[in-house]
Structure 1
Amino acid sequence: MDSESRLRIFIYARIVVSFLFLASTVLMIFQDPATAEDQLQMGLVRLMAFSFIFSAISHFAIKLPKYLFFVTYLQTIWDLLFVTVLLLFTGGISSPYSFLYLLSIMNAGVLLGRKEALYTASLCGILYGAIVDFHYFGLLSSIGLYQDDAQQIGASHVFYTIFLNLIGYYLTAFITGYLYERARESEDALRDKTVDYEELHRLSMTIVSNVESGLLTITPTGNIRVFNRYAEELTGICQAEVYDTPLTQVFPDIADDIFNLSTDAAREFKYIAKSGDTLILGYNAVHFTDLNGDPAGIIINFKDLTSIKQMETALKKADRLAVLGEISARMAHEIRNPLAAMSGSVQLLSEQGSIADNDRRLLAIVLREADRLNTLITDFLAYARPTSPHKERIVLRSFIEDTTTFLSADKRFKQVSISNHVPAHLIVQADANQLKQVMINLLHNAADAMPNGGRVELEGRYQLSGSEGFQKAPVSVITVSDTGAGINPVTAVHLFEPFWTTKPDGTGLGLAIIYRIIEAHGGTISSESLPEGGCRFTIMLPL
């Protein structure tokens, strides 16, 4: 128990005793009005009234921490004054209340310590000795303590009384101080060994609130109890809303299997956030028990794995494309050499004057197709072995305006409106020629997806990109959206692979080249079908 608590108990006890004395005195006066004329009785009443008022003031004073030490010392001083005045009211040397000094010493020892208890014992001896001596030599006759009453006791008896009281005071101070020191040492030792459950509770709540993963607990009946900050941010539901809610209303995909899940199993499930995004969450569950060892519920730890899964998919695709590109590049070189020889031979033949017109037309077809095949090989080599980008600062809005102006003469864009929503301040770090090739290819694809006309919207922004739990980096985001037919799931899987195309006259290298250019810039490109129709390509370039 701390010093403030001991002081508060001591003040409460004095208030109760003073109140009971005053109440009993008032009741006695009410029953026998003659007692009100007793001067001694009324003096005691005033003394107890002062004691009650002083205790009440002390009670309010200890609420101010800066006055706590002063109020504690004041209690001991008041006790000494109270007992001294009480002895003067009740006969001085013959008063039966001299033992109350012992209580004052004990209070000083409990409230202040051993040293203060010894000081208080000395003051008690001085005060009591002064009262006895003044009474014995007739210096207190003015207040009704006459010399004759004291001298009838005898000098030796007076000296003996003072001596015994002094011995009692110091013994009380020594014993009280000793016991107080032992009690304080025991309290300190107990405090060091006792688990501070309140502190542990605060610590555990802080850990639960700030851990970088979702944490929730459910009861054996499947109702949610704990729902930490990560879970609130992920779901958009606060702790107060979800408390005691069945798990089926928050995570229905895991509610049926959670009680049958082994503690070492890690599983995944899909969760549709309030924003409409589909997230992939990984989770595991641990059963916990109460103090009696009975099942108390399950702790579920979960983490948003969406970004990690996207990274894994992108890495697998990149590895597959890299292998395919390397093999194809070697084949392209092997094809280009004999193709050049064939093309040269055909040109020599076509220059012969003896060739018939029909044969000359056939040779022209061969040359044209050879040139087309050579162009295809050139494009493919650009995909397989792209040129290292020479990055520069590009003001994206004006850059896109120049690109759309360049494409305005293309008949594919006659019924297509292009909206440039890129902010004027947005700047990207990229190779201007390669970025222009990317934008032209994407706009061509958008126009091809809308043969009957439509709308293309280009947007840009800055954002932080990275997986949860990792340091995120700022990137420039460019999106190209159209109102075409969208991308079916089968096409989406092979979208950036070379030679995969849905166009009758396409080579299947346009998006593959875009992918390699963005990859060479250290960025990413992805596609998605929009709920309202059409598709969106999203490019992220590091700043």
Structure 2
Amino acid sequence: MDTKKKDILWLILLRLIIVTSLVVSAVIIQYSTSVFLPLNSFYYLILLFYILSFIYFIFYIWGKYLTLQAYLQIFFDLLLITALVYISGGLQGSFYFLYILGIIAASIVLSKRAAYLTAALSAIFFGYLVVLMYRRIIPSFAPGEIPEISLGLVINNIFIAWSAFFLVAFLMNYLTGSLQKTRDELRLTQKELEVKKRLAVAGEVSAQLAHEIRNPLAAISGSVQVLKDELDLREEQKDLMNIIVKESGRVSRSIEQFLNLASPAKQAFSSIDLSAILEETVVLLQSGGELNGNFRVEGNFKSVHVRYFGSGSQFKQLFWNIIKNSLRAMPDGGTLTVDFNQEKRDKIQLRIADTGKGMTEEEKERIFEPFYSGFEGGQGIGMAVVHRIVDDYKGEIKIDSELNKGTEIVITL
């Protein structure tokens, strides 16, 4: 996952807070007791922490290679924590809890894998340090004579520390995963609320718009058809009148779609055959010339019968809009696949796939927004209507698309 700039800043600030807390604690202990870890080395390490934080801040301002920056920061933090554990006495000290903070930071700022990697590095650094100190390969920093520690106690403490490291990594990954899921759901909910707000505004003017445009449009279309039948027209004039009638019908359908989106009418529900409605829609598109010989239609929709309790007119709209979009995505022709699947009695799945131009991530995110269209000259109403219909039936619609490879739309009812 990409590391955001604010995550790097959060990591730097958190480090400064923790280090400053350690300095304050050291000062308090220094003035309250004469027995403490070698403070000169401790303060040198704290100074190194501050210097590194300043360097990290310079790289943060630079703003490049953020993920690499985060990995390097956590790696060097683990080295400095190991040094703090060493000068505080290893197993006898109390600083090895700081490894856990590094694991938490890796899980939040980077990824699940980074959290487990940080836990593994913490286990390796701490384990090697304790073994080297136990075998007296490196001298102890603690003042005075160091009491003997049994091998069993060393192994037990290492095992407990390692278990704690990986347990924290697992729990943090679970928590960050849950938080990410919640954040995504909130973002989707917010987007849906914005869509509904726009629809509410559109609904306020929809009735007036319908009367102002649809009624005169019907009068124009009707008058032209009467004139065409009564007058002796040349072939060219008949073609012009046919264009007027056809375009009037197209505008009328657009207004109808807009009205259905903004202020849907009450629907009459009954037992319907979805596969028959879908086949009828395909036939209409073929007779209208939009689904021509450049396209190949595949799928099981002709051979299955899918019964459903709903509104036939709504599903005609749904099928019409999705298939029209698929055809527009294949300007040079291609394959349209339409399948029904009913593995469970209480669920119906419709899959419509094309081999068209596909969509970008932005187009996938915005496809259901009213008045947004990924096609030139598109009105951005059709897929918003599709989403509203699926939502009316408490269904689910998923889109999988890749540029230059095609789009697959799966609706579950």
Pick the TM interval, shorter chain.
0.3 to 0.5
Point out the structure with the larger strand share: 1
Normalising by structure 1, report the TM-score. 0.36
Point out the structure with the larger helix share: 2
Normalising by structure 2, report the TM-score. 0.45
